[in-house]
Amino acid sequence: MADRLAPQLERLAGRIRSALKLLLFTDFDGTLVAIKDRPSECFLDPAVGQTLSALAGQDRIAVGIVSGRELEDLRTRVGVDGIAYAGNHGLEIDGPGFAFREPNSVSLIKELQGLENKLSRITAGFPGAWIEDKGLSASIHYRQVNPVDVPRLIDVVRNVAKPSLDAQKVVLRTGKMVLEIRPAVNWHKGKAVGWLAKKMSQLCSEPLLIYLGDDDTDEDVFAEWPREITVCVGENRNTLANYSVHDPNEVHAFLCWLLKHIVDSRNRSNLQCNWLVF
């Protein structure tokens, strides 16, 4: 079980201040913003964006958002310049001076599209279910499906996807009221964060990583970085993260606390941060 983050901040402060390079990466939905019934309703609060921008403006901090959303959709909803964006669970990445698309996933797009077409016809029989085409992956959302129908929907999706799953062309992952269909490649958020860490700390051999996330897919990051400052958002008692916070409001409070400890006071006066939320 992860320790609550707030009581540990005093202990972590020295480690953070002494780090030559800080790598701050976070998930989006459920971490920076509250999850909504429709993903299209989620946009970053301007105050949170201001805090991220201020953090990214510091010489020894690199900032990135790592999300299951499609890259361009993520960038539109965050709208912060000078940071890295990793979409589709890291299958596509764009940042200051670099870009990446996982090559094996690109080769499986046609397989994924064919499966999406089949699933679209099937899920039409479940009111509230819908498929989100994200280019390199797809999501079957069922937050608005009648709870009694959810087990049957999941079984149907697994059965339809079985030939592609058995052929090891796609994988099926669960999330918060969503099924994720991704190309079967050796890549996930944990590996994407590793790729970003190398790109964004080339002049520092031992950067300090901070990662915040709320979903099962973020556990891949927590597993890859067991000695770093990893934070689970929510009440997952089985998380591999070292620390936890309750919700996106506490995430912003932590980001403000972090900024307070690394930027000088004259630059803090205009920030819309509540240092006392924790």
pLDDT in tens, 223-237: 999 999 999 999 888
Which residue range forms the structural domain that includes residue 217? 3-102+187-267
- 46-56 and 248-260 are packed helices; what angle lies between their axes, rounded to 10 degrees? 30
Same domain for 116 and 97? no
- The reported pLDDT for the residue numbered 35 is 87
How far apart are the C-alpha atoms of 33 and 48, rounded to whole Å?
9
Same domain for 116 and 90? no
The pTM for the full model equals 0.89
What is the domain-level CATH number for residue 178?
3.30.70.1020
b/e per residue, 102-120, with b = 16+ CB within 10 A? beebeebeeebeebbeebe
- The reported pLDDT for the residue numbered 273 is 55
The structural domain count of the chain equals 2
For residues 118, 120, 126, 130, the Cα torsion angle rounded to the nearest 10 degrees is: 140
Same domain for 248 and 199? yes
Same domain for 149 and 35? no
| Residue at a domain's end among 148, 183, 218 | 183
Active-site option among 3, 27, 94, 264? 27
How many CA atoms does the CB half-sphere of 2 hold within 13 Å? 29
pLDDT in tens, 52-92: 999 999 989 999 999 999 999 999 999 999 999 999 999 99
What is the domain-level CATH number for residue 205?
3.40.50.1000
Same domain for 125 and 16? no
pLDDT in tens, 103-155: 999 999 999 999 999 999 988 999 999 999 999 999 999 999 999 999 999 99
Q: Is residue 54 part of a domain?
A: yes
How far apart are the C-alpha atoms of 30 and 214, rounded to whole Å?
6
Tokens of residue 64, six digits:
């990135």
For the question of residue 27 being annotated catalytic, the response is yes
Q: Is residue 212 part of a domain?
A: yes
Same domain for 93 and 67? yes
DSSP assignments along 165-213, one per residue: HHTTSEEEEEETTEEEEEE--S--HHHHHHHHHHHH-TT-SSPEEEEEE
| Residue at a domain's end among 183, 204, 235 | 183
Q: Is residue 272 part of a domain?
A: no
| Residue at a domain's end among 130, 161, 183 | 183
